[in-house]
């Protein structure tokens, strides 16, 4: 039931600190600050390549997972949307682990890709929310998310729970590979366990975001920019906005702006910039300023330092707590979801059941 909430999507956005904490609880062992995983019949140290396959919002977790696994475990990762994976006849090797991400566990393309990898003799792991689903039964290693049933067609809490599991898995692979020290693992466990509180803080901006949503609701096109793991977050922001508000939206890697999309910019195009302060911040801000110089209406999502440095000339800023880069995607997902939600409500669309969409896509 929706409880006090107007829509399931809103309820599910607000549940995130609790369900992410619940999910983390089953992967983080706080007595010795280690990542703990279900027993597996294979040795993670034996893999020298990883493929991650998923669709839609789950595919953005795959992209963020690529940054994490490559950074922590130094294992090369390729990601594919499931509908492309089989048809490019991917080169599959024995020492390759295939990871599948799905809320429903029933998405036809992802399930077909999983069967394809199994037939090729690969070991498979699944980050899946529905424990009784077809994919949950097929994978060699099931890494469940504990988001609970997700009713809104737009995925929210499943996304952040998938990120939590992905972060834990990347850490586990890195430890198995011997490239992460026990002290570094401890540090990661600490940061991850801080995520639910930071997410709660982010939810505190609900009303500010609602107030600015009316302006965005008038736009015909909206662009999202981010760099590093914030690039998939920009893609997620754009997908969320288009699927529930029907406003045309695109996400771009910040550095790609000047390779084409900047031609779209005028003073009617809101530009949502996702940029926590850190090593990538100045570069993203310089891309943002190029767009601002051409009239872009910038909404900057950053922390206090970032906003102090670059908030001038924006139409709005949304201040996130200062967090470790590893948990930033879990926290920054919240303003991105709330913005899409409030814009859709302002436009009067059917938020939980947007037109033409199904919760689970069981045909190719
Ligand atoms: O159940 P799955 O995670 O496999 O679903 C994948 C996509 O269909 C899903 O994430 C879709 O993109 C959502 N509507 C996004 O909000």
Q: Which residues pair with 54 in a beta bridge?
A: 81
Interval 66-80 mean pLDDT: 97
CA gyration radius for the chain? Answer: 20
Q: Return the pLDDT at 62.
A: 98
Determine whether the shortest distance from the Cβ of 58 to ligand 1 is under 6 A. yes
Rounded distance from Cα 204 to ligand 1 centre (Å) = 26
Determine whether the shortest distance from the Cβ of 107 to ligand 1 is under 6 A. yes
Residue 259 confidence class, pLDDT cut points 50, 70, 90: very high
Supply φ then ψ for residue 96, to 5 degrees.
Answer: -110, 130
In 3D space, the residue among 192, 195, 229 whose CA is nearest the CA of residue 35 turns out to be 192
Q: Return the pLDDT at 363.
A: 83
Q: Report the chain's terminal Cα–Cα distance, integer Å.
A: 31
Residue 270 confidence class, pLDDT cut points 50, 70, 90: very high
If one compares 362 and 27, the residue with the highest pLDDT of the two is 27
361 Cα nearest atom in ligand 1: 8
Rounded Cα distance, 166 and 65, in Å:
6
Determine whether the shortest distance from the Cβ of 50 to ligand 1 is under 6 A. no
104 Cα nearest atom in ligand 1: 1
In the predicted structure, residue 359 carries a pLDDT above the cut 90: no
Rounded distance from Cα 89 to ligand 1 centre (Å) = 24
Rounded Cα distance, 274 and 226, in Å:
5
State the DSSP H helix or E strand holding residue 225, giving kind and residue range, or none if neither.
Answer: strand 221-226
Determine whether the shortest distance from the Cβ of 145 to ligand 1 is under 6 A. no
Supply φ then ψ for residue 193, to 5 degrees.
Answer: -75, -10
Reduced to 3 DSSP states, what percent helix, strand and coil does the chain have, rounded to the nearest 5?
50, 15, 35
Alpha helices by DSSP H, listed for the chain, are: 8-14, 16-25, 56-73, 82-85, 108-119, 134-138, 157-176, 182-193, 195-203, 206-217, 230-245, 281-292, 304-310, 328-347
Supply the pTM of this predicted model.
0.97
Q: Return the pLDDT at 127.
A: 98
Rounded Cα distance, 350 and 354, in Å:
5
Q: What is the mean pLDDT of the chain?
A: 96
CA angle 295, 239, 79 (to 5 degrees): 115
Rounded distance from Cα 27 to ligand 1 centre (Å) = 23
Q: Return the pLDDT at 94.
A: 87
Q: Whose CA is nearest to atom 12 of ligand 1?
A: 56
Mutate to test the pocket of ligand 1, among 155, 245, 350 (most ligand atoms within 8 A of CB): 155
Q: Return the pLDDT at 361.
A: 86
Question: Tell me: the pLDDT tens digits for 158-217?
Answer: 999 999 999 999 999 999 999 999 999 999 999 999 999 999 999 999 999 999 999 999
Active site residues: 359
56 Cα nearest atom in ligand 1: 12
In the predicted structure, residue 358 carries a pLDDT above the cut 90: no
Total count of residues recorded for the chain? 364
Supply φ then ψ for residue 167, to 5 degrees.
Answer: -65, -40
360 Cα nearest atom in ligand 1: 1
Q: Return the pLDDT at 350.
A: 87
Question: Cβ(100)–Cβ(139) under 8 Å?
Answer: yes
Determine whether the shortest distance from the Cβ of 360 to ligand 1 is under 6 A. yes
Q: Return the pLDDT at 352.
A: 86
Rounded distance from Cα 253 to ligand 1 centre (Å) = 21
Mutate to test the pocket of ligand 1, among 57, 81, 133, 362 (most ligand atoms within 8 A of CB): 57
Rounded Cα distance, 237 and 252, in Å:
10
Residue 362 confidence class, pLDDT cut points 50, 70, 90: confident
Rounded Cα distance, 93 and 185, in Å:
29
Q: Whose CA is nearest to atom 16 of ligand 1?
A: 154
Rounded distance from Cα 228 to ligand 1 centre (Å) = 22
Question: Tell me: the pLDDT tens digits for 137-167?
Answer: 999 999 999 999 999 999 999 999 999 999 9
Rounded distance from Cα 312 to ligand 1 centre (Å) = 36
In the predicted structure, residue 103 carries a pLDDT above the cut 90: yes
Q: What are the CA-CA distances from residue 273 to residues 13, 30, 208, 270, 302 (Å)?
A: 21, 35, 16, 10, 8
In 3D space, the residue among 276, 267, 269 whose CA is nearest the CA of residue 310 turns out to be 276
Question: Cβ(347)–Cβ(245) under 8 Å?
Answer: yes
Determine whether the shortest distance from the Cβ of 129 to ligand 1 is under 6 A. no
Coil/strand/helix, residue 9: helix
Coil/strand/helix, residue 43: coil
Rounded distance from Cα 360 to ligand 1 centre (Å) = 7
Residue 47 DSSP one-character state = -
Q: Return the pLDDT at 114.
A: 98
Map tokens 């982010």 to a residue: 202
Question: Cβ(10)–Cβ(156) under 8 Å?
Answer: no
Structure tokens at 344: 């859709």
Rounded distance from Cα 182 to ligand 1 centre (Å) = 35
Q: Return the pLDDT at 355.
A: 87
Mutate to test the pocket of ligand 1, among 55, 244, 351 (most ligand atoms within 8 A of CB): 55
Rounded Cα distance, 326 and 188, in Å:
8
Rounded Cα distance, 141 and 150, in Å:
22
Determine whether the shortest distance from the Cβ of 361 to ligand 1 is under 6 A. yes
What count of other Cβ atoms lies within 10 Å of the Cβ of residue 25? 14
Instruction: Kindly give, in sequence order, each residue whose CB lies less than 8 Å from that of residue 170, ignoring residues fewer than 6 positions away.
Output: 65, 68, 69, 71, 72, 73
Residue 111 confidence class, pLDDT cut points 50, 70, 90: very high
């Amino acid at each position: 039931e929706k409880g006090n909430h107007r829509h399931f999507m809103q309820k599910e956005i607000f549940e995130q600190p609790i369900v992410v904490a619940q999910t983390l609880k089953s992967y983080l062992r706080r007595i010795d600050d280690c990542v703990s995983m279900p027993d597996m019949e294979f040795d993670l140290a034996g893999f020298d390549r990883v493929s991650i396959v998923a669709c839609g919002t789950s595919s953005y977790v795959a992209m963020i997972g690529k940054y994490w696994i490559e950074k922590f475990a130094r294992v090369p990762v390729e990601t594919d949307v499931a509908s492309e994976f089989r048809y490019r006849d991917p080169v599959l090797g024995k020492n390759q682990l295939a990871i599948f991400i799905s809320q429903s566990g029933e998405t036809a393309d992802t399930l077909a890709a999983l069967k394809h990898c199994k037939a090729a003799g690969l070991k498979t792991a699944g980050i899946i929310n529905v424990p009784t689903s077809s994919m949950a039964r097929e994978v060699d290693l099931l890494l469940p998310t504990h988001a609970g049933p997700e009713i809104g067609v737009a995925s929210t809490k499943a996304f952040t729970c998938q990120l939590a599991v992905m972060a834990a898995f990347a850490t586990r692979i890195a430890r198995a590979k011997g490239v992460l020290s026990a002290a570094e693992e401890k540090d990661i466990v600490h940061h991850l366990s801080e995520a639910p509180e930071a997410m709660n803080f982010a939810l505190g901006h609900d009303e500010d975001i609602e107030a600015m949503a009316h302006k965005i609701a008038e736009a015909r096109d909206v662009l999202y920019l981010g760099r590093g793991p914030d690039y998939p977050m920009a893609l997620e922001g754009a997908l969320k906005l288009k699927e529930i508000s029907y406003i045309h939206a695109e996400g771009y890697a910040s550095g790609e702006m000047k390779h084409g999309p900047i031609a779209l910019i005028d003073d009617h195009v809101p530009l949502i910039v996702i940029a926590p302060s850190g090593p990538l911040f100045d570069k993203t801000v310089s891309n943002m300023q190029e767009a601002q110089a051409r009239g872009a209406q910038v909404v900057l999502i950053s922390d206090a330092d970032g906003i102090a440095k670059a908030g001038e000339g924006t139409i709005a800023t949304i201040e996130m707590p200062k967090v470790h880069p590893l948990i930033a995607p879990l926290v920054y997902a919240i303003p991105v979801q709330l913005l899409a939600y409030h814009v859709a409500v302002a436009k009067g669309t059917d938020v939980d059941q947007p037109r033409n969409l199904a919760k689970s896509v069981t045909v190719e």
